[in-house]
Amino acid sequence: MKLYRSLIFRELKLTRKRCILMLILLVLLALLLMLPAILGNFSESIEDDVDAMAGILFFGGTVALVAGLMAGTNNGLQKADISSGWKQYSYILPPTAKQQALSDLMVKLCYILLFGTLSVGYASIYCIRANCNAVGHILNIYLGIVSVVMLIDIAYSYIVMFAKDKNELKIFGLIAFVGAGLILKVLNFFTGDVKIPEQPDDGGAIISDEAFNRFMTTLGSDKTTLCVLAVFAVICVLFFLVMWRSHERREP
């Protein structure tokens, strides 16, 4: 247990400045988006008001989106270890590749829990002030964003793990950048013909109240939460396997 505490402490210490900066930015954003709830007048429940619920989803979803990006993104430690030569030195240390990968996963889960707690706490305060219940919706948005960002992090880590020094890191970093560009090109090819619906001439809503209510019901349902949790669990396993492979010693 002391070994895992040491590994986790090392990673948290090396990434603490980055984490503190992200926390400050997230809190400032949350406070800014909290102004409508502070200044607004909510005397009754707004759950039947589609426009008000859409606003709640927008404000809470924005915080969850930013928090998910911060929690799931790559912390840069793997790149720093390669640049400093620590990665090659770590091959002779007692911790095995499996133990280091498990500590990486635990640290990642710590960040996800931290930013997730802030997102849910923000949503809870907002919903209490607005007399509505959208905490489950915000939680599902957060977990979905974290899963997507972690998947990108897995792909990045898989490419970078083949680098052994600074020169190779630049090469594989360039490969990762080009690969990301190709992925964006492919996504643009399939979504290039998608058009945003225009506002109707009669001034009606783009999305009907019934469609929005169905969307809210689906987003906040227990089935959606279970599906997102299942996807998140699978991605965590993939993250562990890739980091395990990354920490294994590769002969020159």
Give the pLDDT score at 65: 92
Q: Between residues 197 and 27, which one has the greater pLDDT?
A: 27
* pLDDT attached to residue 23: 93
The torsion defined by the Cα of 26, 27, 31 and 33, in degrees rounded to 10, comes to: 20
The DSSP element (H or E) to which 57 belongs, if any, is: helix 50-72
- Enumerate long-range contacts of 200-207, CB under 8 Å, 24 or more apart: 205/50
Q: What is the pLDDT of residues 195-244, one digit of tens each?
A: 444 545 455 555 666 777 787 788 888 899 999 999 999 999 999 998 88
Q: How confident is the model over 2-26, as pLDDT tens digits? A: 888 888 888 888 888 888 999 999 9
By percentage, how much of the chain surpasses pLDDT 70?
76
Tell me which of 187 and 221 has the higher pLDDT.
Answer: 221
Q: 134 pLDDT band (50/70/90 cuts)?
A: confident
Res 196: pLDDT: 46
Mean pLDDT for 71-87 is 79
pLDDT (average), residues 183-187: 60
Which band of pLDDT confidence, cut at 50, 70 and 90, is reported for residue 44? low
DSSP assignment string, 122-134: HHHHHHHHHT---
Helix, coil or strand: residue 221: coil
Q: Please indicate whether residue 205 or residue 1 has the higher confidence score (pLDDT).
A: 1
Mean pLDDT across the chain, nearest whole number? 79
Q: Are 165 and 82 in contact (CB under 8 A)?
A: yes
Given a cut of 80, whether residue 52 has pLDDT beyond it is no
Neighbour count for residue 151 (Cβ, 10 Å): 16
123 to 26, 50, 139, 220, 225: CA distances (angstroms): 13, 17, 9, 13, 16
